[in-house]
Chain A
Amino acid sequence: MVKSNQTRSRWQRFLDNDIVYSFFTTPGAIIAASITLIAITATFAAPLIAPYNPFDPAQISLWDGKLPPAWTDGGSSAYLLGTDNQGRDMLSTILYGGRISILVGIAAVFLGMLLGVTLGVISGYFGGLTDTIIMRIADVQLTIPGILVAILINGIGRAALPLELREEFAIYVVIVAIGLTDWPQFARVARGATLVEAEKEYVQAAKLIGLPKFTIILRHILPNTLRPVLVIATIGLALAIIAEATLSFLGQGIPPTTPSLGTLIRVGNEFLFSGLWWITFFPAIALIILVFSVNLLGDWMRDALNPKLR
């Protein structure tokens, strides 16, 4: 094993890595990663690639409202996926809306991860009373399902804001609400991994060198807890996107002025009975594909990073 390793290039070593290998031999993982990547690029490049700017009143004409998709009767080739009740191009609104959904999802997961991993690692490494308090809070919060906590925090956040600021700050309230909902999961996983790592002999060796606790946590323990955290973060991203969509659908999330996918579905839902199916259908499909590919990625990651399954 030791022989002739240095003759191989970095790239060959990278390809030889078991996880990289597993990625390139799992079609689902490649598809999921591609879709996720395309979705993120497309939505973030929305101002460049979207045919219209749905927020520019000059580009919206009510005359073009409620047009069905281009390939159906009455559809216009100018609007591939049709238009909504206000005459906005569906494809463009979906691209812009997807951007908000992804942004909120990533920001919320990041917040939850930051909070959860910090508290979890501290809890696991120091133990004792700190651990008891942090984990009790996490346990109490975990007793109540996430979506309910998110609705509640979100509701309190909105109510605490003055009326005139509610719309403007809605997106931040949603991010904080979902982030605060997510942290116990991260805390648990990070704490579990920390407990395992802290018992390992390399950490004891680091203590004998005389390294300060903070250095041991940052240099030795944290990097070794990241694998399970990454899995939770990926699955958490899918859940966060769903949570945002759900809040917005319930009318508690992102306002219709800067709609996310969930807001679009909520708006479209009102026109479902009158047969204007495309106003709901396309945002819903976009949301499902996005969440599904993130989930698929998380699913693969969980299997690939679990040494027991290999």
Chain B
Amino acid sequence: MAPLLLAGLMFYFIINRLAQALLVMAVVSAISFSLFNFVGDPVNNMVGQDATREQRVEIRQQLGLDDPILVQYQRFMLNVAQGDFGLSYRIKQPVSQLILEKLPATLELVFASAVIAVFLGIVLGVFTGIRRYSWVSKTIMSVSLIGVSLPTFIIGIGLIYLFAVYLRWLPSSGRAGVIEIGGWKTSLLTIDGWRSIILPAITLSLFQLTMILRLVRAEMLEVMRSDYIKFAKARGLANRAIHFGHALRNTLVPVITIIGLNIGGLIAYSVITETVFQWPGTGLMFIQAVDFVDVPIMAAYLIFVALLFVVINLIVDILYFVVDPRIRRGGS
């Protein structure tokens, strides 16, 4: 296929996906906006019970709550586009600033967990897919079913009890050893930081690891049953070539989606892990905001998470396009 044509197709494909992504963002931002109107009275949330009637009216006007709903939505979207999510009801600080402050902690946690989950998940999944009947595989599969059945917060509590309370090897909560490099506060450069991230990272990765493992194995078995694998065997190809050249590569296409979904899952479950370990990230902030019905933070977090997912999905789609020639739809 001519490179120019390929580029054209790719462009068309990406435009298509971008349109979908925009739709998702529009829906999510509409939901976020509606939070302000459905969930409690924002004025109540800002001034408390003892404010006078006049004070309330004044604040309503200041916030523009008397404007028509579409005008409010437009204003909301304009502000959001500029990264302005308003002030937190509870902390009375700009939400975007709060999120940016907490972001490095969450991203580092998610990154560490993703590395563990993806690497071990694929390796173990391929192994159990190829050595289907060995006892090692059977053991891994049984253990993985337990892994799927363990709620994240129980894993966290268990690890804390074992390593922090009982053995006293690692800290039980918080993020230690933070140093700042170019505005990014990292905990990955100090031993203390590593000690504090190990438990939450393992906790967060375990569920996704077992999911990846099981899905990779299932895909691998599916591919191994296909006719072209039988034909490859009938041509006398070596097992190595069949397993890695044919089976693994064809497993890769669905696995990319799985990984994309799982990184999304990691971000979602970081809410729970951060709560268990009191990890000062965006997830902990979100759950506290839900507790106090701090709508600006809830709305901003929702939009932020949706944006992350949309970006991840877009990357997955592009990778798909690169890996699978059938999507490129070149015909003869």
Contacts and interface: CB of A to CB of B under 8 A. Distances in A.
A146 B271 CA distance: 12
Interface stretch (B49-57, B238-246, B305-313): B305-313
Contacts of B165: 272-273
Given A147-B271, A288-B154, A140 B23 contact: yes
B237 interface: no
A146 B267 CA distance: 11
A3 interface: no
A292 B38 contact: no
A291 B310 contact: no
A145 B290 contact: no
Interface in A119-174: 136, 139-140, 143-148, 151-152, 155-156, 159-160
Contacts of A277: 161
B298 A155 contact: yes
Given A144-B309, A156-B35, A160-B39, A246 B268 contact: no
A46 interface: no
Contacts of B154: 265, 284, 287-288
Given A151-B287, A265-B154, A299 B145 contact: yes
Interface string B159-172: 01100010000001
B269 interface: yes
B225 interface: yes
Given A250-B275, A299-B145, A280 B151 contact: no
A252 B151 contact: no
Q: Which of A242, A265, A287 has the most CB of B within 10 A?
A: A242
Interface string B275-291: 10000000000010011
Interface string A227-261: 00000000000100010011001111000000000
A145 B290 CA distance: 17
B39 A288 contact: no
Given A145-B265, A145-B268, A159-B40, A292 B146 contact: yes
B258 interface: no
A160 B267 contact: no
B269 A147 contact: yes
B149 interface: yes
A143 B313 contact: yes
Chain A contact residues (Cβ within 8 angstroms of B): what range? 35 or more
Given A147-B269, A155-B290, A252-B290, A238 B149 contact: yes
Contacts of B271: 147-148, 151, 250
B229 interface: no
A139 B310 CA distance: 11
Contacts of B23: 136, 140
A295 B151 contact: no
B38 A156 contact: yes
Contacts of B38: 156, 160
A296 interface: yes
B152 interface: yes
B150 A288 contact: yes
A63 B256 CA distance: 57
Interface in A261-310: 262, 265, 269, 272-273, 277, 280, 284, 287-288, 291-292, 295-296, 299, 308
A140 B153 contact: no
Interface string B225-249: 1000000000000000000000000
Nearest to A299: B145
Contacts of B212: none
B153 A249 contact: yes
Given A238-B149, A288-B154, 6 more contacts: A143-B309, A148-B271, A159-B293, A265-B153, A269-B157, A284-B158
8 contacts: A136-B23, A139-B20, A140-B28, A144-B28, A144-B268, A151-B287, A238-B149, A246-B272
Interface of A: 136, 139-140, 143-148, 151-152, 155-156, 159-160, 238, 242, 245-246, 249-252, 262, 265, 269, 272-273, 277, 280, 284, 287-288, 291-292, 295-296, 299, 308
* In the A-B complex, the 5 residue pairs with the closest CB atoms: A145-B268, A292-B149, A155-B290, A148-B268, A159-B39
